[in-house]
A and B are shown apart, each in its own frame.
Chain A
């Protein structure tokens, strides 16, 4: 079955610290992968996407993600977190079926 797993429901980091949010997928081939962010009361905004090529993908707001086929992972990273990064983060994949399959999300809290 096709699925996206985000093992961490809730993460708290200090402002200025580094961040890594985990994402694992289950699919028989290489999917197209996305990270979205949702601030309270807002819709989802695309941070970055991986279709093919370089496995390290740069996105907006200083985020990057690395695709690792051997681990079926697409983890999101940021070297230094800002208070404005507090939000919910969703990993998603597109297998060409006209739909995105989303993970259940990771809520990020940033401590001053």
Chain B
């Protein structure tokens, strides 16, 4: 695998389910990001991890819970989501947490019923 990978690519869940999104980067980077891409809205930054420490939490509801166990892996744990949380969730990584190119994964298309 090369670059940034995300699994699953598609996820359908009910509002009472608990699921997790996984991101893995094979680039040796030390910063990772979660973005939300909704229809007709700009990409929204959700979380930033630098050296495995969360450094940014962009007023995201607590039903989204990130986890970064090491510099190569990033998870987004989901529980009791709402239909308006349906979106494409993109993971990105970079070397350094600012002013460096971010490399994006293909995203997970999430549908909440």
Which A positions have Cβ atoms within 8 angstroms of B? 4, 32, 34, 36, 41-46, 49, 51, 90, 92, 94, 96-105
B107 — which chain A residues lie within 8 A by C-beta? 42-43
**Contact partner of A100 among B41, B45, B103, CB < 8 A?**
B45
Interface centre among A32, A45, A97, A100 (most CB of B within 10 A): A100
Instruction: Say yes or no: A41 contacts B106, CB within 8 Å.
Output: yes
A102 and B106 CA atoms in complex are apart in Å by 17
Do A45 and B104 have beta carbons less than 8 Å apart? yes
Number of inter-chain CB pairs below 8 Å: 54
Selected contact of B42 from candidates A43, A49, A102, CB within 8 Å: A102
Chain B minimum-CB-distance residue to A44: B104
Q: In the complex the two chains form, is B106's CB within 8 Å of A98's CB? A: no
- Which single residue of chain B is at the shortest CB-CB distance from A51? B99
Flag whether B58 is at the interface (Cβ < 8 A): yes
**Cβ of B42: which chain A residues have Cβ within 8 Å of it?**
4, 101-105
Chain B residue with minimal CB distance to A45?
B104
Q: How far is the CA of A9 from the CA of B86 in the complex (A)?
A: 21
Q: Closest A residue to B58 by CB, please name it.
A: A99
B101, A46: Cβ atoms closer than 8 Å: yes
Q: Is B40's CB under 8 angstroms from A104's CB?
A: yes
Contact A100 B99, beta carbon cutoff 8 Å: no
Minimum Cβ distance to chain A for residue B31 (Å): 8
Q: Looking at the complex, which of B11-19, B48-56, B66-74 is the stretch in contact with chain A?
A: B48-56
Interface string of B84-113 (1 = CB under 8 A from A): 000000101000011101111111000000
Alpha-carbon gap, A100 to B92, bound state (A): 11
Question: Inside 8 A of B92's CB, which chain A residues have their CB?
Answer: 43-44
The answer to whether A104 and B45 have CB atoms under 8 Å apart is no
A90: contacting residue among B40, B43, B58, CB under 8 A: B43
